[in-house]
C-alpha cells in the first residue's frame, strides 16, 4: 500500500524483535518488586486499550496521513456487529474481509 | 484445540496483513519467530503500513510488549529456570502461556509449569506455521483490497482490544484515543498519533 524502503522494513522487523525479547527476558531477571507496583499494573492494562483503539481508527480511516472513508468502513462495521454477537475471532476477521471485498469489487 | 484454531486464525491474519502492508514473506516469518507477540507484531505492520517511521513502529510495538515483561515477573519465581532454558521461557512468555499457567495455579506448581510450557511451545509452532501460510497466501493475491485484507487488519486490532473493554471507563478511553488518533493523523507525522495515545493512557492511569 505504502512505499516504505526495504531498510525501514528491516529495521522495524529486527528492532521490534530485539526489544520484544529484551522486555520478555528482563521480566524473568529483575527483582519482582520493581514491576509489581499497583500503579504500573493499572497503567499496563490501559496502554494496550489506547494503542489498539487508535490503530483500529487509523487503519480504518486513513491512507498516507489523509483521512478517507471507503470500503473499510463497511468491513469495520461488520466486525463490530460480529463482536456484539460474541463471534469468535476468525468470524470477526472474515466478516470484515468479505463485506469489504464485496463493496470494493461490486460497488 | 480451540486455542490452536484461534491462534491459527490470528497467525494467518498476521501473515497476510504483513504482506499487505509491504513486508516480505521472510520478514513476516521473522517477526513471528523472533518477536512472537501478536499485538506487537500487528502494531509494527500497522504503523509501517500507515507510513510511519521504523522508530515509531518499534516504539509502538515495544509499548505493547511491556506486558510480557510483567508476565515474566509473575512466571520467573514459579518456573525457576536458568541459562538457555530461561531464554526459551522468556521467548514463550506471552498472553496465552501465562494465562493458562495462572489458570492451573489451584492444581499446583507442576500443573502450572506444564501449562506454561505446553501452551507456550504449542502456540509458538502454530503461530509460525500459520504466519507462513497467510504470508504466502497474500503474496499470491495481488490486489489485497479485492480480498478485503485492508479491512482484516483493523478488524484484527478490534478483535484484540474488544475483550479489554470491560467497563465504561475502558470504553471511554478507547473511543477517546481513536478520535484523538484520527484527528491528529493529518497533522502529525505518521505513527506519532498512535504513540501519543499511550501517553494519554499513562496520564489517565496516574490520575485514576
pLDDT band at A1, cuts 50/70/90? very low
Query: Do residues B114 and B203 share a domain?
Result: no
Give B 7-66 residues with CB within 8 A of chain A: 9-10, 13, 20-24, 27, 30-31, 34-37, 39-44, 46-51, 53-54, 57-58, 60-66
Share of chain A above pLDDT 90, in %: 64
Residues 6+ apart with CB under 8 A from A84: none
Query: Do residues B174 and B150 share a domain?
Result: no
DSSP-assigned states of every residue in chain A: -----HHHHHHHHHHHHHHHHHHHHHHHHS-HHHH--HHHHHHHHHHHHHHHHHHHHHHHHEETTEE--SHHHHHHHHHHHHHHTT--HHHHHHHHHHHHHHHHHH-
Classified as helix, coil or strand, B155 is helix
Question: Residue A56: closest CA among chain B residues belongs to which residue?
Answer: B154
Give me the pLDDT at residue A3, please.
62
Query: Do residues B18 and B115 share a domain?
Result: yes
Q: What is the mean pLDDT of residues B93-106?
A: 87
Query: Do residues B149 and B177 share a domain?
Result: no
Q: Quick one: cell of B34?
A: 523472533
Residue B190 per-residue DSSP state: T
Residue A78 reports pLDDT greater than 80 = yes
Range of the domain at B203: 165-208
Give me the pLDDT at residue B149, please.
85
Among residues B19, B7, B68, the alpha carbon closest in space to that of B48 is found at: B19
Among residues A85, A61, A86, the alpha carbon closest in space to that of B185 is found at: A61
Q: How far is CA B118 from CA B13, B92, B98, in A?
A: 23, 10, 11
Query: Do residues B73 and B151 share a domain?
Result: yes
Give A 12-51 residues with CB within 8 A of chain B: 12-21, 23-30, 32, 34-36, 39-51
Amino acid at each position: 500500500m505504502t512505499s516504505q524502503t526495504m531498510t525501514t522494513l528491516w529495521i522495524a522487523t529486527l528492532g521490534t524483535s530485539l526489544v520484544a525479547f529484551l522486555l520478555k527476558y528482563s521480566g524473568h531477571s529483575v527483582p519482582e518488586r520493581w514491576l509489581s507496583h499497583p500503579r504500573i499494573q493499572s497503567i499496563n492494562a490501559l496502554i494496550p486499550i489506547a494503542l489498539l483503539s487508535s490503530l483500529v481508527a487509523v487503519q480504518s480511516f486513513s491512507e498516507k496521513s489523509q483521512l478517507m472513508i471507503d470500503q473499510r468502513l463497511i468491513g469495520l462495521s461488520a466486525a463490530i456487529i460480529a463482536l456484539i454477537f460474541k463471534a469468535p475471532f476468525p468470524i470477526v476477521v472474515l466478516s470484515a474481509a468479505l463485506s469489504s471485498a464485496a463493496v470494493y469489487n461490486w460497488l | 484445540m480451540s486455542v490452536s484454531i484461534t491462534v491459527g486464525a490470528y497467525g494467518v491474519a498476521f501473515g497476510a496483513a504483513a504482506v499487505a502492508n509491504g513486508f516480505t514473506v521472510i520478514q513476516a516469518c521473522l517477526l513471528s519467530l523472533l518477536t512472537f507477540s501478536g499485538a506487537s507484531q500487528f502494531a509494527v505492520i500497522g504503523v509501517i503500513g500507515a507510513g510511519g517511521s521504523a522508530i515509531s513502529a518499534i516504539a509502538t510495538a515495544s509499548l505493547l510488549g511491556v506486558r510480557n515483561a510483567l508476565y515474566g515477573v509473575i512466571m520467573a519465581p514459579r518456573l525457576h529456570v536458568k541459562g538457555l532454558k530461561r531464554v526459551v521461557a522468556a521467548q514463550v512468555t506471552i498472553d496465552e502461556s501465562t494465562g493458562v499457567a495462572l489458570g492451573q495455579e489451584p492444581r499446583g506448581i507442576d500443573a502450572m509449569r506444564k501449562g506454561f510450557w505446553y501452551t507456550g511451545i504449542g502456540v509458538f509452532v502454530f503461530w509460525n506455521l500459520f504466519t507462513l501460510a497467510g504470508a504466502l497466501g497474500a503474496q499470491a493475491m495481488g490486489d489485497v483490497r479485492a480480498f478485503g485484507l485492508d479491512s482484516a487488519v483493523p478488524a484484527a486490532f478490534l478483535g484484540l482490544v474488544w475483550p479489554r473493554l470491560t467497563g465504561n471507563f475502558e470504553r471511554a478511553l478507547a473511543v477517546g484515543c481513536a478520535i484523538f488518533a484520527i484527528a491528529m493523523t493529518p497533522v502529525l507525522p505518521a505513527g506519532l498519533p498512535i504513540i501519543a495515545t499511550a501517553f494519554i493512557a499513562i496520564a489517565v492511569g496516574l490520575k485514576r
